[in-house]
Amino acid sequence: MAQRRKLFAALLSASLIGLAGCEVVPPSSTPPPVPRPTQPKKPSVKPQTEVSRQMSTHLSKLQADLKVQGLLRVDGGGPDVPFNQRNLVDNFIRIAMFDEYTSNGRSLVAHETESRLRRWEQPIRMKIEFGPSIPLAQRKKDRANIAAYVKRLSRLTAVPISLTDHAPNYHVLILNEDERLAIGPRLNELAPGISTVSERTVTNLDRSTLCLVFAYSDNANSYTYAKAVAVIRGEHPDLLRLSCIHEELAQGMGLANDSAAARPSIFNDDEEFGLLTHHDGLLLQMLYDRRLKTGMTARQARPIAKKIAAELMGGTT
């Protein structure tokens, strides 16, 4: 609005100057040309490197192998994968109240440890960043998929989630190999104070690790998330990439662990299901039920979780 007013003032001054001249020029019968709107400049895309092309080939073969085995299902399980209230509660405790990894001071190692209930208590402002070599068509597809998915996450958790560049607190990085290897300085910008272990985990990502997410609290004594960074390999073929988006963005909401017993679920390392299932949606609803409080132990949370599960599944405790 300020610019429009300034422009109007400039035009008005020009008119006054014209009227103060010695002669008045009659209006032209030819209408002035209408300026064509300028097209936004497309971002430049760097060529994919050889090491990234090799990763693309590897991941395409991996997706094909998983699908041949009947994995990466997108049907949510359906009636052939039933679960009951007790399953739901047990899976909730294992997935929401335990950590999958622990730090040995040098790296993260797979070692399940009991933790406390963690979740977001503030709106999430999510920003998507693409590496320079991610194709434009892929960026468009990923933005659309993430936009649709965060609406679902917001409905399930009642946490306002928006895609924005303004003061983001949840960063989604979609990177090819070379970009991920060099992401250390950017990680320190996005999450000041990020541990050396976390940074090294991203830059030294094992080939078998498809994607990951870190969620942080304001301080060591808080169980309320204040920032998260998800890293997804850009070389994934479409379904594997979408599967990573579903799992990591949901885990960044507070479902931090995996469980071999959870089914039908994406929080299971067997890759049977590729997309968030109805079972997983119930886990998110339970996590963000206001009867549960951040910082609760598994023992404190279980009886409340039983009541919530009974209500969600229409049964009794």
What is the rounded average pLDDT of the residues 70-83?
Answer: 93
User: Has residue 9 got a pLDDT over 80?
Assistant: no
Residues 213-247 have pLDDT tens digits of: 999 998 878 999 999 999 999 999 999 999 999 99
Question: In this structure, are strands 124-130 and 170-175 parallel, antiparallel, or unpaired?
Answer: parallel
Mean pLDDT of the chain: 87
Confidence at residue 40, expressed as pLDDT on a 0 to 100 scale: 60
Q: How far apart are CA 163 and CA 39, in angstroms?
A: 23
Q: What is the percent of the chain with per-residue pLDDT over 90, rounded to a whole number?
A: 74
Q: How far apart are CA 182 and CA 310, in angstroms?
A: 48
* pLDDT band at residue 78 under the 50/70/90 scheme: confident
Q: How far apart are CA 266 and CA 28, in angstroms?
A: 69
The pair phi, psi for residue 242, each rounded to 5°, is -65, -35
More confident site: 118 or 221: 118
Confidence at residue 272, expressed as pLDDT on a 0 to 100 scale: 97
Going by the DSSP 8-state scheme, the letter that residue 191 receives in this structure is S
User: Has residue 10 got a pLDDT over 50?
Assistant: no
* pLDDT band at residue 33 under the 50/70/90 scheme: low
Confidence at residue 6, expressed as pLDDT on a 0 to 100 scale: 30
Going by the DSSP 8-state scheme, the letter that residue 205 receives in this structure is -
| Residues making up the chain, counted from first to last | 317
Tell me the helix, strand and coil percentages in the chain, rounded to 5. Answer: 40, 15, 40
Q: What is the CATH number of domain 50-313?
A: 3.40.390.10
How far is CA 249 from each of CA 98, 148, 304, rounded to the nearest angstrom?
17, 12, 25
What is the rounded average pLDDT of the residues 272-277?
Answer: 97
Q: Are 267 and 259 in contact (CB under 8 A)?
A: yes
80: which 2 tokens? 């052939």
The pair phi, psi for residue 35, each rounded to 5°, is -65, 135
Predicted structure pTM score: 0.85
What is the rounded average pLDDT of the residues 85-97?
Answer: 97
| Cβ atoms within 10 Å of 183's Cβ, excluding its own | 20
Confidence at residue 156, expressed as pLDDT on a 0 to 100 scale: 98
Residues 185-219 have pLDDT tens digits of: 999 999 887 888 999 999 999 999 999 999 999 88
Residues 128-184 have pLDDT tens digits of: 999 999 999 999 999 999 999 999 999 999 999 999 999 999 999 999 999 999 999
100: which 2 tokens? 């999958």
Beta strands in the chain (DSSP E): 98-103, 108-114, 119-120, 124-130, 161-163, 170-175, 211-217, 224-233
Domains of the chain by residue range? 50-313
Q: How far apart are CA 79 and CA 109, in angstroms?
A: 36
User: Has residue 30 got a pLDDT over 90?
Assistant: no
More confident site: 160 or 21: 160
57: which 2 tokens? 């080939």
